[in-house]
Amino acid sequence: MKCRSVPGRLIAAFAVGLILLADVFSKRWALTHLLSGGAREGIKGLFHFRFAWNTGVAFSFLSDKPVIVILFTGVILTVIALFLFLPKRERLFDRLCLSLIFAGGLGNLIDRICYGAVADFIEFSFVSFPVFNFADVCVVLGTCLYAARMLIWDKRKGGFH
């Protein structure tokens, strides 16, 4: 289903705003309740909350290059914003996927600029995996959904198959 430009852009802007607010509030909670140390149980056996600063990107990659990370993130977010908000007829699903990616990336960029690092606080209990945050979940979810849509889209028929 294609959405008209203005309503689609408004929906995207609203989604970005909601996601960004959820990210900011979740990080504020983590800073208030977890920064002093220690962990809090989330869902037993699945995840818990433990605060960690991340100066890099995924898996602390480029930890020693904060300016490059900020510039690269800014370029990527600008490209995504063009797809989100330019008056093109984009599918609503695509705009929502891009909204997840954009808001998550923007939330982490705000952390990098304000704190010099990203506030991470969610850690799996059942497997060794880096600590992450709500913005990371949004970026990964949006990317996976968008990639899945692109993989199953049949351009010849103009729909899903």
Residues classed as catalytic: 120, 136
Tell me if 101 sits within 8 A of 146, measured CB to CB.
yes
DSSP SS3 for 133:
coil
Q: Which residues contact 79 (CB under 8 A, 6 or more apart)?
A: none
Return the residue matching tokens 């028929």.
157
d(CA 64, CA 67): 9
Please choose, from the candidates 38, 28, 51, the residue with its C-alpha nearest in 3D space to the C-alpha of residue 123: 51
Angle between helices 5-33 and 66-85 (to 10 degrees): 150
Residue 62 backbone class (left: φ over 0; alpha: ψ -120 to 50; beta: rest): left
